[in-house]
């Protein structure tokens, strides 16, 4: 069974990615942190589309939870290989650095950067043995150019971009590619409070993106035909300068 793990698959971009990979024929492990109801909805849509998968709840920022939730699944399923890993779970806690609380720095870094490390390290072991893998990290325009009010988020996403490039060089010989996708403004809960009418003047295509437009890029990197593309960052941002 070909499996794909999507962290933060319960809502937004992660949900669209789960559906895309299920339609591509993967058995999808839908990770979530706390919103089981939303994760169940993702799974129900996968089933409606004729796909298969299961829920896997754990907090990517918590090493022990990752070891238990994901590590135990891997041990219990020695014949099922996670071929595609999408590190999508992420949060933002925007505030100017001078007002930032330690926990706001830690929460954002722990989720995107430490989460990438804990999850990828566990999944990579089997990819190395299988000599195949696709690791796709969802980063951000903010990690490429830096955005004011987001020093924690820019640092976390910039760190994952650098890790993407480093890891791609470590594992390329084993047919494992590591790429990143940097969305701009995408319509999800994360951007709910933003004024699209006001912000679209910054976006050449003049609108926010849909989660499915990011998922399409994930499908591209996940495909076998993308085997000669690694260490790349693909912007999905409607043409904003990055």
Binding-site ranges for ligand NAP (CB under 6 A): 7-8, 10-14, 31-35, 38, 59-61, 88-91, 111, 138, 140, 183, 185-186, 188-191
Distance CA 228, CA 237 (A): 23
Distance CA 103, CA 90 (A): 15
Residue 111 or 179 having the CB closest to ligand NAP: 111
Tokens 């993407």: give the residue: 164
Residue 33 or 134 having the CB closest to ligand NAP: 33
228 is catalytic: no
3-state helix/strand/coil string of 100-120: CCHHHHHHHHHHHHHHHHHHH
Cβ(118)–Cβ(163) under 8 Å? no
Distance CA 79, CA 138 (A): 28
Residue 49 phi/psi, 5° resolution?
A: -90, 10
Distance CA 117, CA 102 (A): 21
Taken in order 56, 130, 181, 67, the sign of the CA dihedral is: positive
CB of 173 to ligand NAP, least distance (A): 29
Q: With CA atoms as reference, report the closest residue to 8 among 106, 137, 121, 94.
A: 137
Give kind and range of the element (H or E) at residue 22: helix 12-23
**What number of residues does the chain have?**
242
Residue 11 or 134 having the CB closest to ligand NAP: 11
> Of residues 26, 153, 228, 241, which has the active-site annotation?
153
Residue 31 or 132 having the CB closest to ligand NAP: 31
CB of 152 to ligand NAP, least distance (A): 11
Q: With CA atoms as reference, report the closest residue to 226 among 178, 181, 173, 182.
A: 178
The encoded tokens of residue 162 equal: 């650098």
Catalytic residues: 153
């Amino acid at each position: 069974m070909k499996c794909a793990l999507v962290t933060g698959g319960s809502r937004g971009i992660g949900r669209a990615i789960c559906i895309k990979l299920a339609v591509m024929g993967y058995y999808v492990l839908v990770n979530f942190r706390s919103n089981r109801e939303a994760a169940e909805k993702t799974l129900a849509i996968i089933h409606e589309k004729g796909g298969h998968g299961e829920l896997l709840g754990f907090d990517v920022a918590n090493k022990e939870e990752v070891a238990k939730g994901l590590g135990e699944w891997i041990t219990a399923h020695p014949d099922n290989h996670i071929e595609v890993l999408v590190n999508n779970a992420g949060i933002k806690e925007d505030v100017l650095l001078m007002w930032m609380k330690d926990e706001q720095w830690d929460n954002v870094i722990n989720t995107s950067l430490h989460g990438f490390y804990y999850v990828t390290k566990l999944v990579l072991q089997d990819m190395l043995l299988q000599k195949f893998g696709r690791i796709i990290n969802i980063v951000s325009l903010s990690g490429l150019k830096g955005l004011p009010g987001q020093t924690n988020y820019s640092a976390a996403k910039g760190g994952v971009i650098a890790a993407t490039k480093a890891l791609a060089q470590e594992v390329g010989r084993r047919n494992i590619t590591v790429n990143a996708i940097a969305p701009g403004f995408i319509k999800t809960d994360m951007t709910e409070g933003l004024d699209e009418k006001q912000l679209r003047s910054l976006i050449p295509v003049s609108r926010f993106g849909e989660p499915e437009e990011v998922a399409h890029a994930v499908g591209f990197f996940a495909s076998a035909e993308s085997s000669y593309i690694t260490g790349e960052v693909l912007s999905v941002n409607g043409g904003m300068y990055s």
